[in-house]
Chain A
C-alpha cells in the first residue's frame, strides 16, 4: 500500500522513525501471539501490539530457542488491527529483521526475550527504513543502541516474571545517570563517554537536553495498573506489557485497566478504581529463583 506519490519524499528518516515512538507516548504496547489476542489488545486501547512467537512467561517455562514469529501470524495480526504492529527479531539476527521489514511491520524490537543470534554484534539499524526499538539496562547500553540506529529505547526489566524490580532498577539507572551527566562539566563528559562506552556526541547531547535523544519506555515485569503508574512516575514515557495481560485471570479487563492507569498515572484515585476487582494478576517469580536472566543478553 506504499503510495507511489511519496517516492519523491524521503522515508525512513530518523525524524519519522523517532516520530512514531513519540506518538506512542502515554500508551501501552501489548505482546500478542495471534490475531485474536491482537483484537483484545486493540479493543482495550493498546497504542500498538507486539507480535512474538510466545509470551515471555511461556518462553521461560518451556525453554528452547525463541525466534521471530511465523509470518502468517504477523500477517494475521496486521489484518486484524488498525494500530501499529511491532514484531521481535533476535539480537543480531539481521535476516529476521529483513523478513519483518519485508512483511511491512511498523517497528522491529531487537529483543533479548528471544534467543540471541550473535554474541558480539547487534543489528546495524541504520540500514533499514523500518524503525527499531532496543532494550537497555543502563545508560551506556541505551546510547550504544541509539548509535546503532535504534529510534526508541525500553528498559529490559526481567521479562516473563511479573516482577517489576528489574525494570525499576534499569529505569533508575538510566534516568539517574542522565541527571548526573547534566551536572558534569565539559571535560568530565569525556570521562562519562569512556565509562559508559558510548559516543561522546550522544553524551554531550544528553548533557545539553537532559534526556535521551529518543523516547524511553518501560518493559519487563509490568503485571498490574499500579506497576504501570510506578514506572510512569519514575519517568518512563510509555509501557510495554508482555505476559502481564494474557497470563492474568481476565486479560481484557487487565489490559483496559493498565491503559487507563498509564494515561492517568499520577491520579491515585483513578489507579485505585481501575485496580479494583480485576481478578488474578499473573503469577510472579522472584528474580533470585530464575535460571535464565534475559536482561543479561545483549551488551
Chain B
C-alpha cells in the first residue's frame, strides 16, 4: 500500500522524503489514475490558487473530492490545509476546495513574507519535546468547529493572547497544519499521519 503526495506544485520532494524516511512507498499524484489504491494522501505546501486551478485542469478535483468524502486519510500543510478547509476568508471567489474539515481559514493571516517566522509548538500526542515549526505566509485558523480536535495552538494576536490560534487540527481522517513540518528533519507529524492511514483501514 502506497501513500500519495499531490505533485502538481509545491514542496513535494520534502514530503516524499519524510514519508520515505518512515519506510513508506510514495507515489506522486498528477492525474486521476494515480489515486487508485492509495492508503493516504499528502497535500503539500504551495500556492493554493495555483493548486486549485491545476486540480481542476488535471481532472483530479472530482475524483479526489470523492475519495476524501469516502474517508481517504489526508494530511494538508499550509496550502494543503486551505484546500481541505470548509471556509476560506480572503481567498479568490473562484478558488475551489474540498471542504472536509470544519475550519474557517484566513489566507496569509499572519502577514506577508517579511512576517514569516519559526517557533516551537507543543503538539498533543507527540510527546513532551516541542516541534520546531516553520510558518511561511501561513494561514490562520479563525474558527474550528466542535468536531475538530485542536492538537496545537499559538498565542493570539497582541491584546488577545488568550484567543489562541489552532495550528495543528484533526477531524477523523483529515490532519492539517498551518506550518511546514516537511521543512525540518522532525518526522513525528508524518509518523502520526502514517499511523492514521493504518487506523482508517480497520
Contact = CB atoms under 8 A, between A and B. Distances in A.
Contacts of B183: 15, 19, 22
A47 B115 contact: no
Contacts of B90: 82
Contacts of B158: 3-5
A16 B134 contact: yes
Contact of B137 (A25, A84, A130, A267): A84
B113 interface: yes
B114 A130 contact: yes
Nearest to A18: B183
A36 interface: no
A192 interface: no
A12 B108 CA distance: 16
B113 A260 contact: no
User: Dominant SS at the B interface?
Assistant: loop
A257 to B, nearest CB: 10
Given A5-B155, A23-B79, A12 B53 contact: no
Contacts of A12: 114, 116
Interface string B107-124: 110111111111100000
B47 interface: yes
A20 B118 contact: no
A162 interface: no
A177 to B, nearest CB: 21
Range of interface residues on A (Cβ < 8 Å): 35 or more
A260 B56 CA distance: 11
Interface in A114-160: 129-131
Interface stretch (B6-14, B35-43, B66-74): B6-14
B78 interface: yes
Residue among B112, B135, B161 having the largest count of chain A Cβ atoms under 10 Å: B112
A107 interface: yes
Given A22-B45, A23-B10, A47-B46, A3 B111 contact: yes
B152 interface: no
Given A19-B183, A22-B183, A83 B115 contact: no
Interface of A: 1-6, 8-13, 15-16, 19-20, 22-27, 42, 44-48, 82-84, 101, 104, 106-107, 129-131, 259-260, 263-264, 267
25 contacts: A3-B115, A3-B157, A4-B157, A5-B158, A6-B117, A11-B115, A12-B114, A15-B118, A19-B180, A20-B137, A22-B45, A23-B11, A23-B79, A25-B11, A27-B9, A27-B50, A45-B50, A47-B50, A48-B47, A106-B112, A106-B113, A130-B113, A130-B114, A131-B113, A264-B30
Interface of B: 7-14, 30, 45-47, 49-50, 53-54, 57-58, 78-79, 90-92, 107-108, 110-119, 134-137, 154-158, 161, 180, 183
